[in-house]
Amino acid sequence: MPGIPAQILILDDDADVAYAAKLLLRRAGQVATLADPAQVPRYLQQNTPDVVLLDFNFTPGRADGAEGLKVLEQLQALPRAPAVIAMTAYADVPLAVAAMKCGACDFITKPWDNARLAAAVDAALARRAAPASTTPAATAALLGNSVAMRELRAAIGIVGPTGANVMVLGENGVGKELVARGIHLASRRAAAGFLAVDMGSLPESMLESELFGHRKGAFTDARSDRPGRFQSASGGTLFLDEIGNLALPAQSKLLTALERREVTPLGADRPQTIDVRIISATNLDEARLYDAQVFRPDLLFRLNTIVIRVPPLRERPGDIPGLLEHYLNLYQSQYGRPERAISPAAFDALCAHAWPGNVRALRHACERAVILAESDLYGIADFGLHTAEPVAAPVTATALKLDALERDAVAASLEQAQGNISHAARLLGISRAALYRKLEKHGL
């Protein structure tokens, strides 16, 4: 509310940590500090915090986070629950992830990056103050009326104009790129371009030339000067997709570019200043993303000033009917097919399905149903889900064998790539889109 300063509570037994955070956050509101969870009930009798920065271990020697989780529970039970930002040591990231599952909105690792902490608190405060819907144009493509999707749209409206670097997290096919495009459209850079780069499919040997450009003659195939993605996206937004797949040496090159705000094309003797907003995305599990063996913490701090998490479709089943309707309509008109309704049994099955491939898989299933349906209503078999009855079609023994071989090859490459779609596609020598189709076909 205008005029009323936000209340921020820092709960940490380390006096130095609490004091440093207090100094940093003074400009964002009224800051109180407490050192002991036992003081919390009394504080809550007289105060209504908007944001709580919460440490998880207080008693010396304790590292299970139970004390912090108990406070989180108390805060969640309040009529106007504050936004809670978990604060943990780097080694305790799994604890922070557990806290997020219990309702914390974000987490910060200690020692923190000042800009990241300030941005996390600003984002938490802005989210509380935001009206239910913002910048419809920026989020028009993002369908779904679940609470999660409404919050996501509000977050895009808030984060977009800030210009801060954003990291979008979520499983494959949840809509991370749509979110990134929404942030771009809600930003002051909307009139300039949005350029997406699939970092997962960039071979390491090409990374520098692709990202930073090259001069004619810099290497055998460099027949002319070529700008890199950083230069091409100048003034706009560069979307670094599958950032979690970047090898460590490549991470350090990217870090240098971001730190210096300049890139040197291969073969050039002078760097060029860059002006891009970076939005990155990954499907990497957060515990792995925060593992320094996998991802450089200093690069992470550059990229994740704001973190946006897109929940999987199975956690927002209320969005499924609207998405089915949208994509069936889309493909019916695209393929000039008649309008059909979904049979009640198929509808129930589709709503109960876990959708491991998320919205992308649902979209493909709708396309398939529109193409294959023959009766008056869409039946579950038309959608080709692995839980459905197999479509009765004559198949020869050879086709069956080839199919089984293909399934095994896809499964083996996925295992070898530890579930990383880009890597698996590269192992198989096919595009990511083709791999998605095969995953769906074989119900993997």
Q: How far is the CB of 163 from ligand ATP (least distance, A)?
A: 22
Q: How far is the CB of 197 from ligand ATP (least distance, A)?
A: 12
- The residue from 65, 68, 170, 311 that contacts ligand ATP (CB under 6 A) is 170
176 binds ligand ATP (CB under 6 A): yes
Q: How far is the CB of 282 from ligand ATP (least distance, A)?
A: 8
330 binds ligand ATP (CB under 6 A): no
153 binds ligand ATP (CB under 6 A): no
How many CB atoms lie under 10 A from the CB of residue 391?
13
Nearest CA-CA partner of 432 in 193, 169, 285, 241: 241
What are residue 306's DSSP bridge partners? 166
Cβ-proximal residues to 14 (8 Å cutoff; 6+ apart), any chain: 55
Maximal CA-CA distance, the chain: 75
How many CB atoms lie under 10 A from the CB of residue 204?
11
144 binds ligand ATP (CB under 6 A): yes
Distance CA 175, CA 358 (A): 8
Q: Report the side by side order of strands in the sheet with 166-169.
A: 194-198, 237-241, 277-282, 166-169, 306-309
- Choose between 294 and 377: whose C-beta lies nearer to ligand ATP: 294
Cβ-proximal residues to 250 (8 Å cutoff; 6+ apart), any chain: 204, 207
Q: Residue 124: what residue type?
A: A
309 binds ligand ATP (CB under 6 A): no
312 binds ligand ATP (CB under 6 A): no
Q: Pull the structure tokens for residue 338.
A: 């008649």
Which stretch in 8-16, 171-179, 261-269, 373-381 sits in contact with ligand ATP by CB under 6 A? Answer: 171-179
Query: Helical H runs in 200-306?
Result: 204-212, 229-232, 248-260, 286-289, 297-303
- The residue from 172, 209, 231, 413 that contacts ligand ATP (CB under 6 A) is 172
173 binds ligand ATP (CB under 6 A): yes
368 binds ligand ATP (CB under 6 A): no
- Choose between 87 and 178: whose C-beta lies nearer to ligand ATP: 178
- The residue from 82, 157, 160, 175 that contacts ligand ATP (CB under 6 A) is 175
Which stretch in 25-33, 48-56, 79-87, 174-182 sits in contact with ligand ATP by CB under 6 A? Answer: 174-182
Angle at which helices 421-428 and 397-416 cross, to 10°: 130
Q: How far is the CB of 438 from ligand ATP (least distance, A)?
A: 14
284 binds ligand ATP (CB under 6 A): no
Query: By the criterion CB under 6 A, which residues form the site for ligand ATP?
Result: 142-144, 170, 172-178, 241, 281, 283, 359-360, 363
